[in-house]
Amino acid sequence: MQAGMFYAIASYVLWGMFPIYFKALEAEIPPVDIVMHRMLWSFLFLVIVLTVRKQWAWVAPMLRQPRVIGGFMASALLLTANWTTYIWAVNNNHIVEASLGYFINPMVSVALGFIFLRERLRPLQWLAIAMAAAAVLWLTWQTGHPPWIALTLAVTFGSYGLLRKTASLGALPGLALETALVLPLALAYLVYTTVQDQNTFVSASTSTKWLLVAAGPITSIPLLMFAAGARRLPLSLVGVLQYITPSLQLLLGVWLYKEQLDGARLLGFIVIWCALALYSAEGLWRTFTIRPEIGAGDQS
């Protein structure tokens, strides 16, 4: 349990610090280039990890399952869209709105489970979703347009989670397959920019080059730590801990990068926080109260 808490909290803290990493690249590297390098170096890093751990047995069976590969191609494209949107948002001073996307993501995931997996929602879950939807409508009315960045991040990551929930591979081989499937896109883009003499990696400073290469472990290590933590903790506790990431991102956006969070937007955030508190409290109550009672009844 203690090891699980350490791994889970560490992964969420690392994800929460991502704006600092991407901000360090923005002066020399455009968002699309960062995404392409993130794909490339993540794939190479994962190949090293899989080789060290001798975890290649899944490859041959996977090549005989084109429908499964198609599912991972879809999840890879969703992940690419999520990465691109997030990096663009961070490097264009929209960290606060990006954090909003990950605050509402749990509500989106619950709604997708209801629509596609026919999962039954409990009354308090419906109330939490309704509160989050009301907050999004409030923010839309206040700004004159929907919070597209937040909605894009929530929907792409929620949909990615839906596909990965039904996938047959674990976190490490699954991410390796996803990066392998989009690797041709990354390589084609990098070759094209090189031919056009627009390869920002070539002209970047040495420190920036090393930061781009570090995108591999920076992307993969938190995911591996999260997978290790999730195996050791109740799912409801993992769900509560995940709010560490957007909370840190929100604090970085407001305090470090001086983004605005006026009264109207703050009210929308407060409603969403209340929805998350309701959702999390209901999940924890069911985990630590109802399930032990059911277990006791079964034993008698």
pLDDT tens over the chain, length 300 residues: 678 889 889 999 999 999 999 999 999 999 999 999 999 999 999 999 999 999 999 999 998 999 999 999 999 999 999 999 999 999 999 999 999 999 988 888 888 888 887 878 788 888 988 998 899 899 888 878 899 999 999 999 889 888 887 777 887 898 899 999 999 999 999 999 999 999 999 999 999 999 999 999 999 898 888 878 877 777 667 767 888 999 999 999 999 999 988 888 889 889 989 988 888 787 777 766 755 544 444 443
Specify the DSSP class assigned to residue 30.
-
Q: Scanning the structure block, which residue is given the tokens 């996977």? A: 62
DSSP-H helix ranges across the chain: 2-16, 18-25, 31-53, 59-63, 66-91, 95-116, 123-143, 148-165, 171-195, 200-203, 206-213, 215-230, 235-241, 244-251, 263-285, 291-299
**Six token digits for residue 22:** 């991407």
Of the CA atoms within 13 Å of residue 299, those in its CB half-sphere come to 6
pTM metric for this prediction: 0.87
150, 101 contact by CB (below 8 A) = yes
Task: Give me the DSSP letters along 152-172.
Answer: HHHHHHHHHHHHHHT-SS-HH
C-beta of residue 74 within 8 angstroms of C-beta of residue 163: yes
